[in-house]
Structure 1
Amino acid sequence: MCASLDRVNRDFVWGEGDTRSRLHLVAWDKMVLPKSQGGAGLRSIQKANMVMLAKSGWRLIKEKDALWTQVVKTKYGSSKENLDLLRPVQGSSFTWKSLAAASTLLRSGCAWNIKNGTATKFWLDPWILQGPLKDMALEEIPAERLEEMVADLTNEDGMWCTERFAGLLPMDIQDKITSAAVDKFSTEKDTLFWTLSSNGKFSTKTAYESLLPLGTDSDAKFWKLIWSLPIPERVRCFVWLTCLGKLATNALRFSRKCAPSPNCARCNGQRETIIHILRDCPPASFLWTRHVPSNKQQRFFTSTTEDWLRLNLADVEEVSQGIPWSTFFSIAVWIIWKNRNDLCFKGISSTLTAPSLAHSVMAKVRLWHAAWIAPSLLPGLRSAPPSRVMADISWDPPRGGWMKLNLDGASNGNPGLAGAGGVLRDDSGRWISGFVAKVGEASAALAELWAFHYGLDIAWKSGCRALLVESDSQLAIQLINDRHDPVHPYATLLSSIRRRISRDWLVRISHVYREGNRVADWLSKHSLVYPYGVHELAHPPAGLLSILRDDVQGVAFQRRVVIPSSSPPLSFPPL
């Protein structure tokens, strides 16, 4: 059935009917690749079917209390849980065998999201990687240790006992482990999450992409450039075929026994290849000689086909009236090709003279470019850029009776080696306490959240009961304010932060620009030289004294900022 549906798709794409057969210029395996990999972005029905089966398997695992889940589990007598549920059962139906076949795809993208760590095996279950840690070990793991749970390798505060695995795993794996949060006080069980999506939920898009071969970044940039050109979609498709070398020239048609001769229908002298018909044939050559600047013509007329296409499609230099060269070039080669087809298949030769061809190209280019930019000129559709003004940014002390906690996280690579830092000060700017924390390998957002986790603890231990928290990460503030599904990769750390906020105290969280957060910024970067863990600072480091003095004196720094709207500032009320 899947093969039949793919065949219908192929015939539709190339315009094949019951009575007429057409050339299939691009192999179907190439057509179903993403556009960023040189494909047409179509979907293989076989792969799409497997993805939908995997989605049903994911629902079967996650919707444990659903009626349909209970019926299916009872019918097949399965008492297993999670991924072990999707195992083939002897004598089972075609439906169950299909779900079991999709378990391979699920296993490749699933891992355990750690809550309290009591249900996940440290060495055997996939949790920090999409495979067991024992496969990455530098030496054989003793048999008695293979059954250790994640919780067994953390202390009562959820800090990692790094000495338990320091000599057994590569350093980059150790850094990934130490950035993971374990909440010993949580009553939630460890749960499976989908590692390929940012929110931890299964998505058919990421599952389908995982079945496709990986492309190179350099090729991806070129293909994305083609599909983002400001030209009609049919011209983009033509340019895409040209760059694949799949235009139905006489040379290609002759090789497939669809043409009596491989020679050009215009000049009848040379083999009709892509570079000949689009650049070197006399009418095309006349057009390019008139419009290509004289200082670029030598390279233009001597480049290979691939270099010629890449060079011109990436050229954004304006030709006239705001028209980029890439737009002019794309439309020009398309019209050259259309006129060639009129000659070959309709016998129309009057439009193939060089002067008329040049006139036709310029008329089309101007018309389509005007149509392309027209929506942006309409007042109702024009998006006005946000209003920005120059403003003086400085650290502002809290009002009397309150303390201010400034926080920041730093990631050297995003993700990369990460740390966090923060400082607690009173209404006179006096240093109450501070901290630096090295968290391992993490993204910038995760490092910012670790800053909240450690900073709130230090503020509470310092006796603060009315706290203003400032961070220059709007993403971290949004993550804390929003409610997320338990499968979210940061769900454990976010729950821990919210529990700290819900203590018996007043906490207000707001965003601050980096110029008003210089102390925390310095501490977060400085944290990377410390060993793993949180280190409380009773006194400020010597390198911070000048910045602290600037903050107390109200030294301001200019920055272009967005004019705030009438919406209230971000805050997190007590729970």
Structure 2
Amino acid sequence: MLHATSTALHSSISPRFTAPFFILQYADDTLIFSTIRENALQVLQLVLCLFQLASGLRINAQKSFFVPLSLTPAQADAIIHLFGFNTSALPIEYLGLPLTLGKPDRSCFMPLLQKIESRLQGWKNCFLSRAGRVTLASSVLTALPSYFMSVFLLPRWLIDAIDKARKRFIWGTNHEGKQRVHLVAWDKLCLPREVGGLGLRNIMLQNQAFLLRWLWFLYNNHTSLWFKTTSKIYSPIRGNVPPLVWNKNGSFFWKDIRSLRYLFQISTRSDIASGLNTSFWYDNWAGKPLVPILKRTTRPPREKINYKQGIASLDSLLPRPWELTTQLLLQNHQATLHSEENDRLIWRWTASGNFSVSSFYITFSKAGKLSNGLSFLWSFKIPPSLKCFLFLLSNNKLLTQQQLLKRNLLSLPPHCVMCNQSLLEDSLHLFFSCPFTTLVWLRLRNRFNLPPLVESFSVRESLSATLQQRSTDKFFQTRLSTFFWATWRERNNRIFRGSSRNVELMCNWIQSESSLYLKHC
């Protein structure tokens, strides 16, 4: 009905939108944009009345409101009298997100932080292990901002606030309410497990992955409202040039999307067909975009030319002599043009060539990182709490006397409570060279035919060398993990509770616990 009445009015919302009305509908939410010129509001009110009569539905004026933009108080009062709606002001919430004219300010994101804090308050009094807290932080706290991240490039202060909440929850507080020691750097916790991290999500990288989807849609979904609207506003010749060379000035959302263009360039590759839909300068058709290479030798070009035009004018476009990198790219790229086919954009991080958020995140979270060789710890048949313990052990982050001294928290003289030697206790001594510990493992070796402990120059190397003796033996992995855990528990019981067990009791406990792990994990 609104579209039908639009032809009778000679007014428009803006020079870009020639119709007097523009409507967005999702489920039971309806958002109507209208001009006030040429009796447009009277026509809109008549359409709404006819809709109610024809459908039998009624518009709830108490739940509806209008937002005046650049209107005088007299005009706003006339609208209130005409529709009976309440008035409101931007920002308003639409589909769970703040709708604003400009970049959202701090107040727009506060409901998200409050939601995260409310979850933390509900979990505060729960008796959770560190593994349980890691699971909740990874699955819930990281997922809460996902909806916002799919639309907004989150400001740095908000990312820091979310990370601070996750850190505070994972490491916990003591009985006095003070924050416990953060044993491992946050950047390392956010690395994938395959490269030595804990697998927590990097909020900034995940945010970029979500927003790159909008650029992908511009290249591959020309029938969508998103492409039609954006190309009409930002493309100088109605979308016939690649989106990366559209106008750089625009709304905050468009600027945020364009700020990720370099990530998009290295994540995509153009499969040339006609050469008409690929930018010669900015799209990645030769393995690398040409503009970043040319920045080292000359000013980047401003021409918005496609691949076909560029290949035909190489001598006049590229400075002579050609830089070696440019020359190699052009020599290795040979494309046969087919005028009847469109160029295709290929996503480099998936086998199918189609975009996915997870492929970008996985690729860039591992970029430049090498595996620490102990990622298989997470596949052991042991409880999650023991896996977190082994993670701390492999990174030499357990709070032994050495680590306490490093943090200026050691108040007692150096002493090993397991063997009563006057030396500075560290993880390498406690788990691999302490006489009491080695005696316990010797009993376990004789009982279960296990290989010896291998002591090296670091805890990680010692742990890796010991496990590599039987890298696929689940029985050995579980016994060894339980042995390390029992040693740490015994050490803490002797320090904080004044209780101790002999070698035989230790071995019996390790045997019974590891049997339960093998059966139920």
What TM-score do the two structures reach when normalised by structure 2?
A: 0.56
Tell me which residue corresponds to 1:418: none
Residues 318-333 of structure 1: matches in 2 within 5 Å? 324-333=475-484
Tell me which residue corresponds to 1:30: 188
More strand by share: 1
Tell me if the contact between 2:428 and 2:459 (Cα under 8 Å) persists in the aligned partners.
yes
Tell me which residue corresponds to 1:225: 376
Deviation at 1:254, TM superposition (A): 2.7
Q: Does 1:278 align with 2:278?
A: no
Tell me, in whole angstroms, the C-alpha distance in 2 between the residues paired with 1:305 and 1:216.
20
Tell me if the contact between 1:313 and 1:326 (Cα under 8 Å) persists in the aligned partners.
yes
Tell me which residue corresponds to 2:468: 314
Match of 1:204 among 348, 352, 357: 357
Query: 2:223 is paired with a residue of what secondary structure?
Result: coil
Query: 1:314 is paired with a residue of what secondary structure?
Result: helix
Tell me, in whole angstroms, the C-alpha distance in 2 between the residues paired with 1:114 and 1:75.
27
Q: Does 1:357 align with 2:489?
A: no
Q: Does 1:101 align with 2:259?
A: yes
Deviation at 1:148, TM superposition (A): 9.1
CA 1:230–1:183 in 2, change beyond 3 Å: closer, same or farther? farther
CA 1:55–1:257 in 2, change beyond 3 Å: closer, same or farther? same
CA 1:134–1:362 in 2, change beyond 3 Å: closer, same or farther? closer
Q: Does 1:51 align with 2:204?
A: no
Tell me if the contact between 1:282 and 1:354 (Cα under 8 Å) persists in the aligned partners.
no
Tell me, in whole angstroms, the C-alpha distance in 2 between the residues paired with 1:32 and 1:114.
38
Tell me which residue corresponds to 1:367: 516
**More relative contact order in 1 or in 2 (CA 8 Å, sep 6+)?**
1
Identity of aligned residues (%): 24
Residues 410-559 of structure 1: matches in 2 within 5 Å? none
Residues 285-304 of structure 1: matches in 2 within 5 Å? 285-292=438-445, 297=452, 300-301=454-455, 304=458
User: Partner letter of residue 197 of structure 2?
Assistant: G
Match of 2:242 among 82, 85, 101: 82
Tell me if the contact between 2:219 and 2:345 (Cα under 8 Å) persists in the aligned partners.
no
Tell me, in whole angstroms, the C-alpha distance in 1 between the residues paired with 2:374 and 2:387.
11
Deviation at 1:24, TM superposition (A): 0.7
Query: 2:374 is paired with a residue of what secondary structure?
Result: helix
Deviation at 1:301, TM superposition (A): 4.9
CA 1:32–1:148 in 2, change beyond 3 Å: closer, same or farther? closer
Report how many residues are paired.
Answer: 341
Deviation at 1:25, TM superposition (A): 0.8
Tell me, in whole angstroms, the C-alpha distance in 2 between the residues paired with 1:49 and 1:148.
30
User: Partner letter of residue 310 of structure 1?
Assistant: S
Tell me which residue corresponds to 2:416: 264
Tell me, in whole angstroms, the C-alpha distance in 1 between the residues paired with 2:499 and 2:361.
48
Tell me if the contact between 2:159 and 2:203 (Cα under 8 Å) persists in the aligned partners.
yes
Tell me, in whole angstroms, the C-alpha distance in 2 between the residues paired with 1:302 and 1:328.
20
Tell me, in whole angstroms, the C-alpha distance in 2 between the residues paired with 1:300 and 1:251.
21
Deviation at 1:62, TM superposition (A): 3.0
Tell me which residue corresponds to 2:162: 5
The CA RMSD measured in Å over matched residues stands at 3.9
Unaligned runs of 5+ in 1: 155-167, 373-575
User: Partner letter of residue 499 of structure 2?
Assistant: S
Q: Does 1:234 align with 2:385?
A: yes
Tell me, in whole angstroms, the C-alpha distance in 2 between the residues paired with 1:46 and 1:295.
45
Tell me if the contact between 1:31 and 1:42 (Cα under 8 Å) persists in the aligned partners.
yes
Tell me if the contact between 1:30 and 1:39 (Cα under 8 Å) persists in the aligned partners.
yes
Tell me, in whole angstroms, the C-alpha distance in 2 between the residues paired with 1:174 and 1:229.
50
Tell me if the contact between 1:312 and 1:326 (Cα under 8 Å) persists in the aligned partners.
no
Q: Does 1:214 align with 2:367?
A: yes
Query: 2:345 is paired with a residue of what secondary structure?
Result: strand
